[in-house]
Chains A and B, each alone.
Chain A
Amino acid sequence: AQTVTQSQPEMSVQEAETVTLSCTYDTSESDYYLFWYKQPPSRQMILVIRQEAYKQQNATENRFSVNFQKAAKSFSLKISDSQLGDAAMYFCASYGVNYKLTFGKGTLLTVNP
Protein backbone atom coordinates (compact mmCIF):
# COMPACT_ATOMS: atom_id res chain seq x y z
CA ALA A 1 0.00 0.00 0.00
CA GLN A 2 1.08 3.54 -0.64
CA THR A 3 0.75 6.41 1.82
CA VAL A 4 1.33 10.12 1.30
CA THR A 5 1.85 12.59 4.13
CA GLN A 6 1.69 16.37 3.92
CA SER A 7 2.69 17.78 7.29
CA GLN A 8 1.82 21.42 6.59
CA PRO A 9 -1.95 22.01 6.67
CA GLU A 10 -1.44 25.68 5.77
CA MET A 11 1.33 27.84 4.35
CA SER A 12 1.54 31.48 3.37
CA VAL A 13 3.90 33.43 1.14
CA GLN A 14 4.32 37.01 0.01
CA GLU A 15 3.75 37.75 -3.63
CA ALA A 16 7.00 37.36 -5.66
CA GLU A 17 8.63 35.30 -2.90
CA THR A 18 9.48 31.59 -2.89
CA VAL A 19 7.70 28.89 -0.90
CA THR A 20 8.32 25.17 -0.44
CA LEU A 21 5.60 22.64 0.30
CA SER A 22 6.61 19.36 1.90
CA CYS A 23 5.54 15.82 1.12
CA THR A 24 6.73 12.40 2.23
CA TYR A 25 5.51 9.09 0.91
CA ASP A 26 5.86 5.42 1.54
CA THR A 27 5.71 2.67 -1.04
CA SER A 28 7.08 -0.81 -1.54
CA GLU A 29 7.05 -0.45 -5.30
CA SER A 30 10.13 0.21 -7.38
CA ASP A 31 8.28 1.78 -10.30
CA TYR A 32 6.04 4.69 -9.38
CA TYR A 33 5.24 8.28 -10.18
CA LEU A 34 4.77 11.33 -7.99
CA PHE A 35 2.59 14.34 -8.65
CA TRP A 36 1.62 17.70 -7.31
CA TYR A 37 -1.92 18.80 -8.08
CA LYS A 38 -3.44 22.21 -7.41
CA GLN A 39 -7.09 22.66 -6.44
CA PRO A 40 -8.33 26.26 -6.45
CA PRO A 41 -11.70 27.26 -4.95
CA SER A 42 -13.39 26.12 -8.17
CA ARG A 43 -12.42 22.57 -7.01
CA GLN A 44 -10.98 21.66 -10.44
CA MET A 45 -7.92 19.45 -9.82
CA ILE A 46 -5.08 20.76 -11.98
CA LEU A 47 -1.80 18.96 -12.61
CA VAL A 48 1.18 21.09 -11.56
CA ILE A 49 4.14 18.77 -12.02
CA ARG A 50 5.06 15.08 -12.22
CA GLN A 51 8.17 13.07 -11.43
CA GLU A 52 9.08 9.55 -12.54
CA ALA A 53 10.75 7.70 -9.68
CA TYR A 54 13.39 6.19 -11.94
CA LYS A 55 14.63 9.62 -12.99
CA GLN A 56 17.20 11.24 -10.73
CA GLN A 57 16.80 14.66 -12.29
CA ASN A 58 14.27 16.86 -10.52
CA ALA A 59 11.29 17.92 -12.64
CA THR A 60 10.67 21.60 -13.39
CA GLU A 61 7.73 23.40 -14.97
CA ASN A 62 8.30 27.13 -15.32
CA ARG A 63 8.11 28.56 -11.76
CA PHE A 64 7.44 25.14 -10.22
CA SER A 65 10.16 22.66 -9.35
CA VAL A 66 10.51 19.63 -7.12
CA ASN A 67 13.17 18.29 -4.81
CA PHE A 68 12.91 14.50 -5.13
CA GLN A 69 14.89 12.58 -2.54
CA LYS A 70 14.19 8.94 -3.33
CA ALA A 71 16.08 7.39 -0.43
CA ALA A 72 14.35 9.67 2.04
CA LYS A 73 11.01 9.25 0.23
CA SER A 74 10.60 12.98 0.12
CA PHE A 75 9.01 15.03 -2.67
CA SER A 76 8.76 18.76 -2.00
CA LEU A 77 7.37 21.44 -4.31
CA LYS A 78 9.05 24.81 -4.71
CA ILE A 79 7.09 27.71 -6.13
CA SER A 80 9.23 30.64 -7.22
CA ASP A 81 8.05 34.21 -7.82
CA SER A 82 4.69 33.40 -6.21
CA GLN A 83 1.63 34.94 -7.82
CA LEU A 84 -1.84 35.62 -6.45
CA GLY A 85 -3.18 32.97 -8.81
CA ASP A 86 -1.06 30.34 -7.06
CA ALA A 87 -3.33 30.48 -4.03
CA ALA A 88 -5.01 27.08 -3.76
CA MET A 89 -4.99 23.73 -2.00
CA TYR A 90 -2.00 21.69 -3.12
CA PHE A 91 -2.07 17.90 -3.05
CA CYS A 92 0.87 15.56 -3.29
CA ALA A 93 0.02 12.18 -4.84
CA SER A 94 1.70 8.91 -5.73
CA TYR A 95 0.80 6.44 -8.47
CA GLY A 96 2.00 2.88 -8.76
CA VAL A 97 1.21 -0.41 -10.42
CA ASN A 98 -2.13 -0.65 -8.63
CA TYR A 99 -3.47 2.01 -10.99
CA LYS A 100 -4.72 4.40 -8.33
CA LEU A 101 -3.60 7.82 -7.21
CA THR A 102 -3.02 8.06 -3.47
CA PHE A 103 -3.33 11.63 -2.20
CA GLY A 104 -2.12 13.44 0.88
CA LYS A 105 -4.47 15.61 2.91
CA GLY A 106 -3.33 18.78 1.20
CA THR A 107 -1.65 22.07 2.04
CA LEU A 108 -3.62 25.30 1.76
CA LEU A 109 -1.39 27.98 0.25
CA THR A 110 -2.23 31.65 0.78
CA VAL A 111 -0.45 34.30 -1.27
CA ASN A 112 -0.34 37.74 0.34
CA PRO A 113 -0.12 40.86 -1.86
Chain B
Amino acid sequence: DAGVTQSPTHLIKTRGQQVTLRCSPKSGHDTVSWYQQALGQGPQFIFQYYEEEERQRGNFPDRFSGHQFPNYSSELNVNALLLGDSALYLCASTVLTRDTQYFGPGTRLTVL
Protein backbone atom coordinates (compact mmCIF):
# COMPACT_ATOMS: atom_id res chain seq x y z
CA ASP B 1 0.00 0.00 0.00
CA ALA B 2 1.78 3.11 -1.26
CA GLY B 3 1.84 6.09 1.02
CA VAL B 4 1.75 9.74 0.03
CA THR B 5 4.41 10.59 -2.53
CA GLN B 6 5.77 13.98 -3.55
CA SER B 7 8.04 15.20 -6.30
CA PRO B 8 10.58 16.57 -6.66
CA THR B 9 12.49 16.05 -3.43
CA HIS B 10 14.49 19.25 -3.74
CA LEU B 11 14.16 22.27 -5.96
CA ILE B 12 16.21 25.43 -6.41
CA LYS B 13 14.67 28.47 -8.11
CA THR B 14 15.45 32.16 -8.42
CA ARG B 15 13.27 35.07 -7.43
CA GLY B 16 10.45 35.79 -9.84
CA GLN B 17 10.31 32.29 -11.26
CA GLN B 18 7.39 29.92 -11.07
CA VAL B 19 7.38 26.41 -9.57
CA THR B 20 5.09 23.37 -9.63
CA LEU B 21 5.14 20.72 -6.93
CA ARG B 22 3.34 17.40 -7.24
CA CYS B 23 1.62 15.04 -4.84
CA SER B 24 0.02 11.61 -5.13
CA PRO B 25 -2.26 10.70 -2.24
CA LYS B 26 -2.27 7.48 -0.28
CA SER B 27 -4.27 4.72 -1.94
CA GLY B 28 -7.98 5.13 -1.23
CA HIS B 29 -7.69 8.79 -0.24
CA ASP B 30 -9.61 11.49 -2.12
CA THR B 31 -8.63 14.69 -0.33
CA VAL B 32 -5.30 16.49 -0.55
CA SER B 33 -4.01 19.33 1.62
CA TRP B 34 -0.86 21.39 1.21
CA TYR B 35 1.24 22.91 4.00
CA GLN B 36 4.24 25.21 4.08
CA GLN B 37 6.82 24.63 6.80
CA ALA B 38 9.46 27.31 7.26
CA LEU B 39 12.64 26.36 9.08
CA GLY B 40 12.06 26.02 12.81
CA GLN B 41 8.29 26.45 12.53
CA GLY B 42 5.23 24.26 12.48
CA PRO B 43 3.48 23.64 9.16
CA GLN B 44 1.04 26.28 7.94
CA PHE B 45 -2.08 25.29 5.99
CA ILE B 46 -2.15 26.54 2.39
CA PHE B 47 -5.27 24.90 0.95
CA GLN B 48 -7.22 21.67 0.58
CA TYR B 49 -8.62 20.04 -2.55
CA TYR B 50 -11.55 17.68 -2.84
CA GLU B 51 -13.42 16.64 -5.99
CA GLU B 52 -11.02 18.78 -8.03
CA GLU B 53 -12.04 21.95 -6.24
CA GLU B 54 -10.39 24.10 -3.60
CA ARG B 55 -12.41 23.42 -0.49
CA GLN B 56 -10.62 25.57 2.07
CA ARG B 57 -7.78 28.06 1.94
CA GLY B 58 -5.38 29.38 4.51
CA ASN B 59 -3.84 32.83 4.73
CA PHE B 60 -1.68 32.66 1.58
CA PRO B 61 -1.64 35.08 -1.37
CA ASP B 62 -3.06 34.30 -4.78
CA ARG B 63 0.46 33.54 -6.00
CA PHE B 64 -0.21 30.14 -4.46
CA SER B 65 -2.61 28.08 -6.53
CA GLY B 66 -3.39 24.44 -6.92
CA HIS B 67 -5.13 21.80 -8.86
CA GLN B 68 -6.51 18.34 -8.25
CA PHE B 69 -6.82 15.77 -11.02
CA PRO B 70 -9.49 13.07 -11.50
CA ASN B 71 -7.10 10.48 -10.06
CA TYR B 72 -6.92 12.63 -6.87
CA SER B 73 -3.29 13.65 -7.38
CA SER B 74 -2.57 17.32 -6.89
CA GLU B 75 -0.24 20.13 -7.87
CA LEU B 76 0.83 23.22 -6.00
CA ASN B 77 1.90 26.18 -8.13
CA VAL B 78 3.71 29.22 -6.82
CA ASN B 79 4.21 32.24 -9.10
CA ALA B 80 6.59 35.17 -8.77
CA LEU B 81 8.73 33.42 -6.19
CA LEU B 82 10.04 35.40 -3.25
CA LEU B 83 12.96 34.60 -0.99
CA GLY B 84 10.44 34.02 1.79
CA ASP B 85 8.87 31.16 -0.14
CA SER B 86 11.88 29.01 0.70
CA ALA B 87 10.46 26.22 2.85
CA LEU B 88 9.51 22.58 3.05
CA TYR B 89 6.21 21.99 1.28
CA LEU B 90 4.22 19.11 2.67
CA CYS B 91 1.32 17.32 1.08
CA ALA B 92 -1.15 15.36 3.18
CA SER B 93 -4.02 13.13 2.16
CA THR B 94 -7.12 11.79 3.83
CA VAL B 95 -10.53 10.37 3.10
CA LEU B 96 -13.14 13.13 3.21
CA THR B 97 -15.23 11.56 5.90
CA ARG B 98 -12.28 10.86 8.16
CA ASP B 99 -9.99 13.12 10.08
CA THR B 100 -6.45 11.77 10.09
CA GLN B 101 -4.12 13.29 7.51
CA TYR B 102 -1.11 11.32 6.33
CA PHE B 103 1.89 13.24 5.11
CA GLY B 104 4.32 12.81 2.27
CA PRO B 105 8.08 13.29 2.60
CA GLY B 106 7.89 16.89 1.41
CA THR B 107 9.58 19.01 -1.24
CA ARG B 108 12.31 21.36 -0.09
CA LEU B 109 12.17 24.58 -2.12
CA THR B 110 15.06 27.01 -2.05
CA VAL B 111 14.60 30.43 -3.65
CA LEU B 112 17.82 32.33 -4.41
Say what secondary structure dominates the interface of chain B: strand
Contact pattern, A 90-113, Cβ under 8 Å of B = 1, otherwise 0:
010101001111111110000000
Flag if A100 contacts B42 (CB, 8 Å).
no
Flag if B100 contacts A50 (CB, 8 Å).
yes
A26 CB, nearest partner CB in chain B, Å: 15
Total A-B residue contacts, Cβ distance less than 8 Å: 56
Q: How many residues of A contact B (CB 8 A)?
A: 24
Flag if B88 contacts A101 (CB, 8 Å).
no
Q: How many residues of B contact A (CB 8 A)?
A: 24
Contacts of B110 in A (CB 8 A): none
Q: Interface of B with A (CB < 8 Å)?
A: 33, 35, 37, 41-45, 48, 55-56, 58, 88, 90, 92, 99-106, 108
Q: 6 more A-B contacts (CB under 8 A) besides A101-B45, A103-B43, A105-B41?
A: A4-B42, A95-B101, A100-B48, A100-B56, A101-B35, A103-B44
